[in-house]
Chain A
C-alpha cells in the first residue's frame, strides 16, 4: 500500500467523520440546494427589472396578501410583491450578507488575533483591550447604533455587522496561537531562520484554523438572523427589496386573518420565514458536524 501524505490522510478521515453524521448530510444538502437557487436565480425567477433584479416585481398596490395561484406559486405578500420571486432572490441576498460579514470578520479577526497572540506584549495588550470594549455591547444593540449613525440600508447593516463580528475570531485565534507559539516545531522553524510571516501562515495557522471554520459556519446563521431582524425592524433593506427579513416585515400586519379564517395569510409569513430558518439551520448543522469532526476530544470516539 502506498503511504499517503499525513495531511491528506487526516483530511480524508475528517470528511469520513463529517459524512457519517446524518445531521451533516442534511445540512450539506440544504446548503447545496440554497447555493443552487442562488446561482440559478435569474433562470428560476427571471427578473422584471434587469438593472436591479433585487427589487421584487409587484402587480398593484393592494395591502392584502393574495393566496398562491397559477401566476404566483407562493402567493403575493402585502403590496402584491411576488413571494416566490422574493424567496428565490432572497437566497442571493442571504448568501451575500453571510459571506460578506463572516468573510470580513474572520479575515480581520484572524489577522489581528495572530498578531496579538504571536507577538504578545504591548500590541497584544492594546488589541485585546479594544476587543474587550467592543465585546461589552451585544451585537444587535451595537449594530443598531452603528446603522443609525451611518444611515439605513442593507449595505450599512452588513458593514456594521462586519465591524462587530471580528471580536469573536480575535479571541479564539489568539488563544489557539498562545498554546502553539512555544511548541517545538515553531521554535525549530524560528531557529532555521524562517520569517515570522511564514511561520504564522504555514506552521501556526493550519493548526489553529479549525475553531475558526466551525465558528464561521455557525456565524453565517446568526449574522443572517441579525440582518433579517434589522430589516424586520426597518433599519435594513428598503421596502420591496428581495430580503427575507424585509418580506416578513411586509406581512407583519397580516399574522392574524379575518375572524372566520384566522390563518388565512399564513404563506406571507411562513414562506420567507421558513427560508430564513432552513438557511440558518443548514449552516448550524454543518457547524455542529464540523465541531464533532475537528474537536480532538470527540474526533476519535
Chain B
C-alpha cells in the first residue's frame, strides 16, 4: 500500500511539472511584446515596452523564463490580473469562496440524488421507472449548462420574478460595504458568514441566490453519476451471490441495499474524478450566466480580455485540484476494494 501511494505521488509531481510546462508553452506562443503589455498600466508606459522586455527577460530562452516563472509561482507571485486589477493571487482568494460555496451545496445533492436514482433505475430495470429516469438523465446530459441556466433565468427571474442573478442582493452588498464593522467576512461564504455574524437575512438572501445555480448544476451533472450507478446495479444484481441470497430467502431490500448497492458503488468512485472535472466546467457556465463572480466567471472574463496570467493561474489550480483528487480517489479505491490493493 505504501509503495503504491509513493509511486502515485511521484507520478503526480511528474504530471504537475508537465502541466506547468504545457501551460507555459501556451503562454510563450505570445510574442514578447504582447507579454510585455501585461506589465503596462498606463498609456505613457507603452513606449517603454522594449525596456520592459529587457528588464523582465521576456526574450530569453524558454527554459530560463520557465525557471523564473516557476520560482515566482512558488513565492506566490502569479502576476497581475487586468480583470480584477489587483495581483492574481490576491484576486484568487476573493473569487474562490463564491465557487466553493456553490459546489459545497451542489456536490452532496449530486452524489445522493445520483446514487438514489441510479439504484432505483437499476433495480427496476426496463420498467417505467427505469425508462423515465434514463430519459431524464440523457436529456440532462444533453442540456448545455449555459443554455439551461438561461432558460431557468428566463422562467424564474423573468416570469415569476423569484430569484435574481448574482451572489447576493445589491441592497445587502451596499449594507455590508457601508458597515464593515457590522459584518465581518470570516470565510467569504455568505451563508457561513451570515450565520457567524448572526445576520439571518444575509443567509436567506444568499440561499435564494444559490437555488437556481445549484439546480442547473445538479440536473446537468447528476446524469453521469446516475448512469454509472445504474449499470453497476444491473451487473451486481445478476451475480451469483445475489441469487444465493435470494434462494436462501433474504428479503429483497436487504439484498439490494446491503449487498448489491455496496458493490455497485465501486465504479461510482472511479468516475468521481471525472465528476470533479465536469463540475469545474459546469461552474464556468453557471457563473457566467448567473453573474456570480467566482473563479469560473473570472476565467471566462479573463479569456475575453486576454488576461493570460489569470488563465495560467486557474489552469494550474484546476490541474492541481484534479490531480490531487484523482490521487485521493485512487488511494480510497485501493482501500475499499481489496482486489486492487493486493495486485
Contact = CB atoms under 8 A, between A and B. Distances in A.
Interface of A: 23, 129-130, 132-134, 136-142, 144-150, 221, 225, 228-229, 232-235, 248, 252, 255-257, 262-263, 266, 269-270, 273, 276-277, 280-281, 284-285, 288, 297-298
Nearest to B285: A229
A133 B18 contact: yes
Contacts of B18: 129-130, 132-133, 136
Contact of A129 (B14, B27, B134, B161): B14
Contact of A138 (B141, B153, B159, B280): B280
A136 B144 contact: no
Interface of B: 11, 14-16, 18-19, 22-23, 26-27, 29-30, 134-135, 138-139, 141-147, 150-151, 153-155, 157-159, 161, 234-235, 277-278, 280-281, 284-285, 288, 299-300, 303-304, 306, 308, 311-312, 314-315, 318-319, 322-323
Contacts of A148: 303, 306, 308, 311
A229 B284 CA distance: 10
30 contacts: A23-B135, A23-B138, A133-B19, A136-B16, A136-B323, A137-B315, A144-B311, A145-B311, A146-B26, A148-B306, A149-B26, A149-B27, A228-B144, A229-B144, A235-B303, A255-B150, A255-B154, A256-B157, A263-B155, A266-B154, A269-B147, A273-B147, A273-B151, A276-B147, A277-B144, A280-B142, A281-B139, A284-B141, A284-B142, A288-B138
A132 B144 contact: no
Nearest to A224: B144
A277 B150 contact: no
Contacts of A255: 150, 153-154, 157-158
Between A132, A139, A248, A281, the greatest number of chain B beta carbons within 10 A of the residue's beta carbon is seen for A132
B30 A149 contact: yes
Closest 6 A-B residue pairs measured CB to CB? A133-B18, A256-B158, A262-B158, A281-B142, A280-B142, A140-B281
A263 B156 CA distance: 11
A25 B143 CA distance: 20
Contacts of B138: 23, 281, 284-285, 288
Given A137-B318, A138-B277, A263-B155, 13 more contacts: A129-B14, A136-B319, A136-B323, A137-B322, A138-B280, A144-B303, A145-B23, A149-B26, A232-B288, A255-B150, A266-B154, A269-B150, A277-B144
Contacts, number: 138
Contacts of A276: 144, 147
A258 B154 CA distance: 12
Contact of A269 (B151, B157, B235, B299): B151
Given A144-B311, A225-B144, A281-B138, A273 B322 contact: no
A136 B322 contact: yes
A100 to B, nearest CB: 19
A221 B303 contact: no
Nearest to B231: A298
A233 B22 contact: no
Contacts of A145: 23, 26, 303, 311-312, 315
Given A23-B138, A284-B138, A141 B280 contact: yes
A260 to B, nearest CB: 12
A141 B278 CA distance: 11
